[in-house]
Structure 1
Amino acid sequence: MTAVIGVALTIALALGKDNWKRPITEPNADASYYYVYLPSLVLDGDLDFTNQYAVTKNYYRWGKTPIGRPANPFGIGPAIFQLPVFVVGHAIAKLTGDRDDGFSRWETTLVMWTSIPCMLGAILLAYRLARRRVGGSPAYLGAVVAAIAGPILYYTIRQPGYAHPYATLFATWLIERWDASYVVDTATAPARASPSPPSSGHASPSPGDRPRSLRTW
């Protein structure tokens, strides 16, 4: 089922157009600022976005930094995640004779596509968390419905390249691991020494009991 969802999302991304009839796979608005880190670092070896903004047109008209370079208040996080596919896309662009400035359709399409595995990963992590409490099918259905009903679907196939899919993946991973840290295997956990029954008559804690707190790993 996850593969089917992935194929459907990929088709929607490949065929999608924005309100100005531009391909969804072209980085625009916020996405352009996240994207420019890739050609600037990989191809130029710097963080001077002058030549990149010549292509993207500096959508929000950011000014200069204190050292005189074009400003970019958007974080580098998504670019770190996208780096491997950008390198692959650039290699394909070179082999096919496409533009070599980091903005070929190969590079931008592959980079925008990374929003899809992020969404799918978040679904699987949410499913794994929910499966601890309900059956497998309800857990998976709930994870899919939550993804479709929230903003993550929009930022996966309508505004890819924004930080939202990557933030969703890692936030879901953090929550799932936090929840998993309270799962104790009662079959292998060392047995606790059984204290004398308290005068109130309460039962002693079982080996699988673990109080919840903000502590994770």
Structure 2
Amino acid sequence: MLTTRTFTALAIAGSLTLGGCVIHVDGAGNGDLSSVFGGVDVAAGRQVDDISTVNGGVTLEEDASAGRIDAVNGSIELFNSAKAASIDVVNGDVDLGRNVRIESSIETVNGDITAKTGTRIGADIETVNGDIDLNDTEVKGDIETSNGDISLTGNTHIDGDIIFRRKDDNNWGSSTSTLTIEASVTVAGDIILRRHVELHIDNPAHQQKVIKRYTQRDE
């Protein structure tokens, strides 16, 4: 299950905390950054520590790097070759460019996750209400969603399992989720369905990995 952090306090000792504006880091930006009612924009090639925002997005431009990125009500965008330790979002999308590196996990509650060619994720990718769209991406852990579609294209490689969790009354929407896996994709683990999912799986070997763990009541 998701372990998305709540933001009870954003004033972190030794950090830069601002409200109502965008923090632009275009110099030697070391240390933690936090913002309320404003975003954070880290310029190309710059490095910062952890980033926290409430009601504001986070952008890392090309070759920029950060520690943990946490956001409530804000989308996250990492341009080509940017790096982060982990990403954790409550309401917002995660858009990763080419050759992005995420050391650990990516988690969203209400938001899509998109990754482009050459990106590597060091642990799990998880959403509650959001789609996962990966192209030519390597994931070292599992991919999980409660109420979204999953699309894997190109030479994407998944070390772990693909898991569709059972919906509950609190989850948004009622439409059937879709799993798309192109023939060129490799999935080392299993495809675990805890509810009905529409499958578009090109490789027969992947079709054999499908494990249905639900009853008709869960469809």
Q: TM-score, structure 2 length as denominator?
A: 0.20
- Pick 1 or 2: higher relative contact order, CA cutoff 8 A, min separation 6: 1
Find the structure with the greater CA-based Rg: 1
Please identify which structure carries the higher strand content. Answer: 2
Q: TM-score, structure 1 length as denominator?
A: 0.20
